[in-house]
A and B are shown apart, each in its own frame.
Chain A
Amino acid sequence: MKIRINGQETLVKCHTLSELLVELDHEPTSVATAVNQTFIPRHQRQEHQLCDNDIVDIIAPMSGG
């Protein structure tokens, strides 16, 4: 399946958002996620099915003013 992750087109094997984080080796509690600009809370990642051409944002803390 081809999806866009943080602005980059990527081919992935997974089907759900939680599987995607595992596939990309992200620590699930260290990131927040959105699919097609909609926030997907941590507890919904397992049931959230990804589709071809989905836009996924994986977000983490950083400095800010």
Chain B
Amino acid sequence: MSLTVYGTELNSRLLLGTSLYPSPKIMLDAIAASQCEVVTVSLRRESSTEKSGNAFWSLIRSANVRVLPNTAGCHSVKEAVTTAHMARELFDTPWVKLEVIGEDDTLQPDVFGLVEATRILIEDGFEVFPYTTDDLVVADRLLSAGCEVLMPWGAPIGSGRGLNNRYALTSMRAHFPDVPLIVDAGLGLPSHAADAMELGYDAILLNTAVAKAGDPVAMARAFAMGIEAGHLAHQSQPMPKRDMAAPSTPVFGTPFRD
């Protein structure tokens, strides 16, 4: 079953970043192997001599995927809002992965700035994908501001730790049963992605775990399979946990017992 975000139907539940790959070809091969339909992109100052931006944009267009521009590196509402406007003009999409970073060691979102920037951008016609924490109150504010999707972190960006706080992520899923929830950042292994999907998350956004793998193309495929497996497992309604053993072989008629 597909996922719908801001009225757009997505068949893949993996959104993939475009940074840190060993080469442009490997990036394109990883995108193809992942079968993702959305990739994240960014903006940086353009040198008047190198002009690398156009070459990168041509490369992404050749992959025939949707783009989700981010506001990575922004530490204030003003920076994030200005970057979002520039991204909308360059990439011709109302989508923006909104990041307002509040702390440099963990790259933790500044959730106060995030909510403020979200309000401004949604008012201006943007479709905001907020990179947020697993805080339920912040999530509620973001939804009130008009977000139709939430992207809580699994762990700090690039850490590869997996789900740092399963309890909080489980609560978030239970609290917002009808909101598309995408775990964004901090995953390192396909099992981490499967874990999130088994909790009922709708999709996964990741970059470093694929790009920095020894074989990014194989890892992209592995993540796609892990995400599909986790999603299917959630749909299949897993058995309840028990504290004690319960024999799977019928005990009736067991030989040598009176």
Contact = CB atoms under 8 A, between A and B. Distances in A.
Which size class do B's interface residues fall under?
A: 35 or more
A44 B83 CA distance: 17
B70 A65 contact: yes
Contact of B17 (A30, A39, A60, A64): A64
Contacts of B208: 65
A46 to B, nearest CB: 15
Nearest to B47: A6
Given A27-B54, A34-B82, A37-B79, A7 B45 contact: yes
B228 to A, nearest CB: 22
A4 B60 CA distance: 30
Contact of B53 (A24, A42, A60): A60
Q: Which of B44, B91, B208 has the most CB of A within 10 A?
A: B44
B54 A62 contact: no
A59 B46 contact: yes
Given A26-B48, A32-B90, A39 B82 contact: yes
Interface string B1-34: 0000000000000000111110000010000000
Nearest to B40: A64
Contact of A32 (B43, B48, B70, B72): B43
Contacts, number: 113
B53 A31 contact: yes
Nearest to A26: B48
A64 B70 contact: yes
A62 B52 contact: yes
Nearest to B42: A64
Contacts of B243: none
Contacts of A34: 82, 86
Interface string B187-219: 000000000000000000011100000000000
A58 B46 contact: yes
A65 B208 CA distance: 8
B46 A65 contact: no
B69 interface: yes
B19 A25 contact: no
B89 interface: yes
A62 B57 CA distance: 7
Q: Which of A7, A37, A41, A61 has the most CB of B within 10 A?
A: A61
Interface of A: 6-7, 24-27, 30-34, 37-39, 41-42, 57-65
List the 6 closest pairs (A to B, CB-CB), nearest first.
A60-B53, A64-B42, A65-B207, A65-B17, A32-B86, A60-B46
23 contacts: A30-B53, A30-B57, A31-B53, A32-B87, A32-B89, A34-B86, A38-B82, A39-B86, A39-B89, A57-B45, A60-B44, A61-B54, A62-B43, A62-B52, A63-B18, A63-B21, A63-B42, A64-B18, A64-B70, A64-B72, A65-B42, A65-B158, A65-B208
Interface of B: 17-21, 27, 40-48, 51-54, 56-57, 60, 69-70, 72, 78-79, 82-83, 85-87, 89-91, 157-158, 185, 206-208
